[in-house]
A and B are shown apart, each in its own frame.
Chain A
Amino acid sequence: MARDLAIDLGTANTLVYMKGRGIVLNEPSVIALNRQTGEVLATGREAWQMIGRTPGYIVAVRPLRGGAITDFEITERMIRLLLQRVGVSRFTRPKVVICVPSAITEVERRAVTDAARRAGAADANLIEQPMAAAIGADLPIDEPVGNMVIDIGGGTSETAVISLGGIVALEAVRVGSFDIDAAIQNYVRREHGIAIGERTAEEIKVAIGSADPTHDENQAEVRGRDLMTGLPKTVLLTPEEVRFAIEDVISSIVSSVIRCLSKAPPELSQDFLVRGMYLVGGGGLLRGLAERIERETEVPVKMSNVPLEAVVLGAGHVIEHYEALKGMFMGARR
C-alpha cells in the first residue's frame, strides 16, 4: 500500500512529504537530458550542478518557469523519477497533493494533475501555495482573524490574506528570486561588460544582495567572460550596485503586497498591525527584504521558522487529514 504524498513543485526546488514520514526529498527542480536521445541523465542536485557546465550533447533544464510548466513532457518525466525515488511503482499508486501558484490557468492546472497521474499517482489534487504556506508556517488560520502570508518563490510571489481556513484576498505576480538573478546577470553584462552564468548571479545575490541597506556591506569579486575580448575577467561589485540592479523586481514584489493589503476587509486589516505579516519562501531570505516591506507598508513583517519547508509542510498536513481538508483543494470550492 503506497503512502500518500504531498509535493511542493517549485520553480527552484521540489520537496516531497510522505504521509506518516515527513519530508523525504528536497532537491532542485532540474533535469539533465541527452539532447540527441532524450534520455534522462540526472535529476535534482546532480543535474543542478551541471547547469551552464554541460558539453553540447547534454542539456540541464528547469522544466518550470514562473511557477508554470514550460515543458509538459519533461515535467512529467521529472515527476515520475521523483515518485520512483520515494518508492512509488506501478503497483503502489498513492494519492498526491501538489502545491501550485494560485494564479495558474485552467490549462496549467490540468497539465500538472495529468503529469502526476501519468507519473503514477492514483489521484492528484492541487492546493494553492499561499494556503499551504500558511498551514505550514503554523498561522492560526482556523480562527476568524486576519493572517497574512507572503510567499516569495523562484518564479512567483504571492501574498494572501487568510481567515477561517479560506483565502480572503490574494495577489500574485510572476516575479521571484530567479528574476533577481536575471537582473544581476543583465546589470553585470551592461555595466561591466562581462557575461556571468545563472549560478554565479545566484551566488552574488546570496553573498551581497539586499533589498535595503544592511550593516555589513561588503564588495564581491565577480568572475566572468569579457564580452569584448572573450577572456576571463574579474570585476568588483558593490551591494549598492546589486540593489540598483534588482530594484525593479523588488518594487514589483512590494507593490503586490501593498495591493493585497488594500484588498483586505477593514476588520481583518487591523489584525495585521498587531499580528504582522509572515514571509516564507526562498526569496524571502534576501537580506533587507522584510525591512523594506515593513518600511513601505508600515506593517510588521516576521520571518517564518521554516521558510523553505512551509509550503510542503502545509500540503503534508493536508495529506495527513485528507478527508477533513479535501474541501481546500483548488476547484473543490468552485
Chain B
Amino acid sequence: MSVVVIIVVIVVVAVVLGLGLRSRTANDGVDSFRRQIDALSPEARKPTIDQVKSAERLDDDDRADGDDSAP
C-alpha cells in the first residue's frame, strides 16, 4: 500500500514539475523574443547612435580648432 502511495506521489510531483518546466520554457521563448525586439527599438538604439554622433562632433571640433591654429 505504502509503495503505491510513494509511486503516486512521485508521479504527481513529476507531472507538476514537467508542466512547470514546460510553461517556463514557453514563456522563456516569448520573453527572450520580447527582450530582443525591445533592444532593437529606435529608443534602445538612440544612445548608441547619439554616442557616436557626439564623438564625431568632438572630432569635428578638434579638427576645426586645428585648422584655426594652422598658419
Contacts and interface: CB of A to CB of B under 8 A. Distances in A.
Nearest to B35: A324
A328 B32 CA distance: 11
A320 B47 contact: yes
Contacts of A135: 40, 45
Contacts of B36: 165, 324-325, 327-328
Contacts of A325: 36, 39-40
A161 to B, nearest CB: 16
A317 B52 contact: no
B41 interface: yes
Contact of B52 (A22, A323, A327, A328): A22
Q: Which of B36, B37, B42 has the most A CB atoms < 10 Å from its CB? A: B36
Contact of B51 (A22, A138, A306): A22
A309 B59 CA distance: 15
Nearest to B32: A327
Contacts of A22: 51-52, 55
Interface string A309-330: 1000100110011011101100
B37 A142 contact: yes
A313 B49 CA distance: 7
B48 interface: yes
Interface string A236-278: 0000000000000000000000000000000000000000000
Interface in B14-71: 32, 35-42, 44-45, 47-49, 51-52, 55
A242 to B, nearest CB: 31
Nearest to B34: A324
A313 B52 contact: yes
Nearest first, the 7 closest Cβ-Cβ pairs linking A and B are A324-B39, A321-B39, A142-B40, A324-B35, A317-B48, A22-B55, A22-B51
Interface of A: 20-23, 135, 138, 140-142, 164-165, 306, 309, 313, 316-317, 320-321, 323-325, 327-328
